[in-house]
Amino acid sequence: MTVYYNYIKALHLIFVITWFAGLFYIPRLFIYHIEADQKPSPEREILTQQLKLMTKRLWYIITWPSAILATGFAIWLLFLFPFWLQQPWMHIKLAFVVLLIAYHLKSHQMFKQLQRDEVKYTSKFMRIWNEGATLILFAIAFLVILKGTFNWIFGVVGILVLGILLMLGIRLYKRIRDKNPEA
């Protein structure tokens, strides 16, 4: 079975990438949906119907299948190499994967609410929510690449700095957008 390791690993990586692509784009569609809800009729109805269709296709055709396949190939890899489960970096990575799954499930809940035209969040909240997947991706990528050589203090500080920079970027974008609504 280890003969197929590189194929399984490649498929795992491909589906992780497409899963993250969906997780990066779905909050952006949520933002558009929330902002469309504030438009006058009939623009509101036209936009929300189109956005509901786009999010439904993204969520069920790309994001969910990618999440399932990425997880399936990951389990297969762990089955082939169970000693990885003894590695401390893998414990941390799996904790971030659990966090990623929780993020995915919460996004699913938001998706279902918007499909029912229940707008419970602001577009500002969604812009911040959108960065959650980015932070998880950075954490997992560094853990996988650096493994045992990873300096935990540096890693935690790096993730915090990245989070702060992302929040500052959101605030800067809001200021630019407030000055120029077309941005």
Q: Per-domain residue ranges for the chain?
A: 2-179
pLDDT, tens digit, 9 for 90 and up, residues 69-95: 999 999 999 999 999 899 888 888 899
Residue 180 has what pLDDT?
Answer: 81
Mean pLDDT of 24-29: 96
What is the percentage of the chain residues whose pLDDT exceeds 70?
A: 93
Q: Kindly give, in sequence order, each residue whose CB lies less than 8 Å from that of residue 104, ignoring residues fewer than 6 positions away.
A: 19, 23, 63, 67
93 is in an annotated binding site: yes
Mean pLDDT of 15-22: 98
User: What's the predicted TM-score (pTM) here?
Assistant: 0.85
**Torsion over CA: 108, 34, 128, 173 (sign):** positive
Is the pLDDT reported for residue 116 higher than 70?
Answer: yes
Residue 50 has what pLDDT?
Answer: 97
Are the C-beta atoms of residues 88 and 138 closer than 8 Å to each other?
A: no
33 is in an annotated binding site: no
Amino acid at site 167: M
**Dihedral, CA atoms, 16, 96, 9, 88, nearest 10 degrees?**
170
Q: Kindly give, in sequence order, each residue whose CB lies less than 8 Å from that of residue 70, ignoring residues fewer than 6 positions away.
A: 12, 15, 16, 18, 19
**Torsion over CA: 159, 165, 170, 173 (sign):** negative
Pick from 6, 148, 149: nearest CA to 90: 148
| Better-predicted residue by pLDDT, 152 or 28 | 28
Residue 110 has what pLDDT?
Answer: 97
Residue 161 has what pLDDT?
Answer: 82
